[in-house]
Structure 1
Amino acid sequence: MLDNMPRGTICIEDIEMGMTRHLRKEVTDKDIEMFAEVSTDHNPVHLDEDYAQDTIFEGRIAHGMLTAGLISAVIGEQLPGHGTIYMGQTLKFLGPVRPGDVVYAEVKVIDIDLAKRRVKLDCHCSVNDKKVLIGEATVLAPSRKFD
């Protein structure tokens, strides 16, 4: 299941304070397995249910950076979108994401520096309206002047 807003590019000249974009995605076992392969993070809390049952999570969880990657997807595909350059990101993990959870990832414009083409975004991910990740991103937005 993947639900998101239109993809593309919003140039710095068209970005406005308070503008938001989001996506909604179900995190599957396959997502977790593929992330483990790509990242080389094979921590058994992500992959081994028996092992994970004996942890504070009492079951398997998705990699935190897999969840954070959904923020990256919103930024890279929607706001500002294609051509955006990541400059920085803060993250605070508030709760686990489990296989089968539907994650809602949203970014919101909280500061714009038109001269430097920099945009600061408030970011969060939630599961069932409970925030599981919060943070801020600073990005270099594309501009029509450089097309």
Structure 2
Amino acid sequence: MNRRHAAATLRGLPELAGLGWREVQSLLSHFDEVRVGPGAAVARAGRPATEYVVVLAGSLESDGPPGRRRIRAGQSVGWDAMWRRGCSDTTVTTAEPSRLLVMGRAEFRAVRALRGRLEPAAGAGVARQPASAAVIRSSERH
């Protein structure tokens, strides 16, 4: 993992914008980097959110309210549903070979511990729907 690129990507996310460089660097240890091929399931509508996923390279496709949309490098899925411990509103799949940072539910508590510095990111970003464990099961960990 190129830690500088990954940290810069995290700092660019609306949900982590309030964090300093050192805080973002410390969060990196809570992510796994995975590479997935096209068509891999990332989230299923109506299923519990189990992962927060950040796109480092490639793209995802979200299908659900408000319609189809592309989730590109520098964007994330899963923040809102993970924050509220809810279910995904959309189905998300990889649109092309992608490199992702994936944070599971237990690791997400590290982010919640910074609650005083962060607000739940409702409506703060383009695409944040929950991801499923299928990302890690169908991927190679790095």
Q: TM-score, normalised by structure 2?
A: 0.28
Greater RCO (CA < 8 Å, at least 6 residues apart): 2
Q: TM-score, normalised by structure 1?
A: 0.28
Structure with more of its chain in strand, by fraction: 1
